Every structure is written in structure tokens, then in C-alpha cells.
Amino acid sequence: MDSTARNGLAAIVINLGVAAIAVSQQAAPGQPDAQPQTVQQLIAPGGQTAPGQAPAGQQPLGQPIGQQSIAPQPPQPPPGFQLNQLQQTALDTVLNAWQQNNAGIKTFSCPFQRLEYDPVFGPKAQDGKAAPLYQNDGELSYSRPDKGSFQITKTNKWLETPAPGQYVEQPATIGDHWVCDGKSVYQYRPDLKQLVEHPIPPQLQGQAIVDGPLPFLFGAEAAKLKEKYWLKIDQQQNQNPDEYWIIALPKFQAQAADFTEVDVVLDRFQLLPKYMQVWMPNRSHHVYIFDLANAKRNGLIPLIQSLFERPSVPFGWKRVVENPALQQAAAPAPQQPQAR
């Protein structure tokens, strides 16, 4: 992999800040497992956020759609996300260092594995540990600031027969796939045989991808992450001194409809995600394992522009254009990440 390590001083500064809050921080309350998710509404709303207000175009919790509050109340953080000054400083230090590292990334590609856990249809837990229903391979690519591609390239499903059970490749299965060409986000929906297009408003084109779990992969600005998510660093759940564990809960209903929590494990030196865990409302969850050793940073992706071009509609499918409004989410209960 190309050189991505941060210098030792920056790593030490961040580590000291994280270590300082570890003693005072409470572990997040728990949640069990979740089913394959879709990545929807990847488009940022326009406008700036005034103090005590929700971002423009996003509906605050408890305020009827179409009505405006004279004195809007700022949303309250859920339990475990009311940070003291020390905790907030440590979080800001990590987010700002992560943002600074991402600023040097012009193009990035990385293979990954996605483990999909399903509490209903998944394999029975062995030795107290759940097993994934699917073990999938994929590839993600990014070209700064707003072009991206995410694709599941190989699907392996757990089959109990023949005994004792095994993962079997499903060559006919079309995996999750989305493309952002800077003007629209295109999402493949194999279950509906639809290619869903989310147009990006002209005034927002050319900006970073900032919604869904994607900013945690492609590095949105720290301020934008804090605007859309309740965030905290949780070092009690992860004791590896070479990792930072960031837990994020969505503030808005559009994201909360698709996922209730995102847990990101950053490599302390490279400041890139090693793992990401996404919890869905149906209690299933996906674990992403990123192969940073084979990732390419600032490589030859600009020569492969077809990755980010508007995709064609597969035979027998139809194109659907959607642009749902964002709404403020109720403060969700944080989930209990599984130990790694």
C-alpha cells in the first residue's frame, strides 16, 4: 500500500487524548444482531446550520412537516453521548486528524469483506458467537471530492446441507452496488430489479459524499459528521492501543430508517478504517473488514473513469428517480458492538 502512516507525534497526541477519556467514559448499552442493508440517501442537504437548528431541509423531531417553530430547540443527545469537555476534546482531536489525513487522499481503492449477520435466518450461534449468513467480497473506490463506487463482487451464503454446513458461492446473485458520478447517486436494488437514482442538487455538486455510512469510508469533514451524527470515542469496548473506536448514531430519520448505528475502528497510524460495523433497524448487522494492505492511495483510479460513470439499466430492470426529504430522528438507543 502507498505511504499513509501519520507521523509518530500526531499519533501520540491523539492517543493521549483518547486515553484520558477512557476512564470516565461509560460503555454503550447493548443491542443484538441485524440483514443485508441498502445504502440510501447519500446526498447532503443544502444550507448552513444555525445554532440550535436542524440543517436546512431536515425536519426536527416532533415538529410537524410543513410547520416552522418560532424558537426551535436543539436536539438532545441520547444516553452515553452527552460528552464532557475532556471527551469532546478527544473526539475533536481524532476527527480533525482524520480529516487532515483524508485531505491528502485524491483517489483511493480498497478490497473488503462484508459479513452479514441475520438473527432470524443466520446460522445458529456456536460457542456463544454468532456466524454470518453471508461472507461477501467487495471493492470500493473513491475520487475526490464526490465520485465513488461500492460493489459486492462475490456472494457466499451459508448452507446447512450438506452437513456440517458450508459457505457456497452464489454466482447468479447481484450484490449491493452503488455509483456516484458527482451529479447523482445510483443504487442497484436487485430485490426490486430497480436502478434507483438520487439526483444531487446543482448547488451541492462537487461536494463530498456526506450521508449514509459512506463518510466514514470516504472522510467527510469533521463538522459535517458532527452535524449529522451523535459521536463518541469508545475505548472500553476496544482495548487495542493501535485503534480508535468511533461510535455514531444518526440524528435524522432518513439515515435512521436504514441504519441505527455505525461503529468505525480506525488504524491509529494510518488513520484509515480497518473495520466498520453497521446496525440495521431489523436487528441485523454487517461487519466490514478492509484490506488496507492491498489498498491503493492516489493510484491509477483517474484512468478508470468508467467506475464512476452513469450506469446502464440492466435488462429487465427499470430506472427509478427518488429524492426523499430528511427528517430528524428520535434519539436511538446505542447498540452493543460485538467484541473483535
Q: Does residue 340 register a pLDDT over 60?
A: no
Range with lowest mean pLDDT among 15-24, 241-250, 260-269: 15-24
120-140 average pLDDT score: 88
114-142 average pLDDT score: 89
pLDDT tens digits, 46-73: 333 333 444 444 544 344 445 555 555 6
How confident is the model at residue 240, as a pLDDT? 87
What confidence tier does 305 reach under pLDDT thresholds 50, 70, 90? low
Most confident residue range from 121-135, 166-180, 281-295, 316-330: 281-295
Range with lowest mean pLDDT among 112-126, 130-144, 326-340: 326-340
> Which domains are assigned to the chain?
25-43+80-327 (2.50.20.10)
Q: Does residue 15 register a pLDDT over 50?
A: no
Instruction: Name residues whose C-beta falls within 8 Å of residue 317's C-beta, 6 or more positions apart in sequence.
Output: 193, 194, 195
How confident is the model at residue 23, as a pLDDT? 34
Q: Does residue 43 register a pLDDT over 60?
A: no
135-139 average pLDDT score: 96
CA distance 1 to 11: 19
pLDDT tens digits, 87-108: 999 999 999 999 999 888 888 8
pTM of the predicted structure, to 2 decimals: 0.74
For the chain, the average pLDDT equals: 75
In the chain, beta strands by DSSP E: 58-59, 107-117, 134-143, 147-154, 156-159, 166-169, 177-181, 184-189, 194-199, 229-233, 243-250, 261-267, 273-279, 285-290, 296-297, 318-321, 326-327
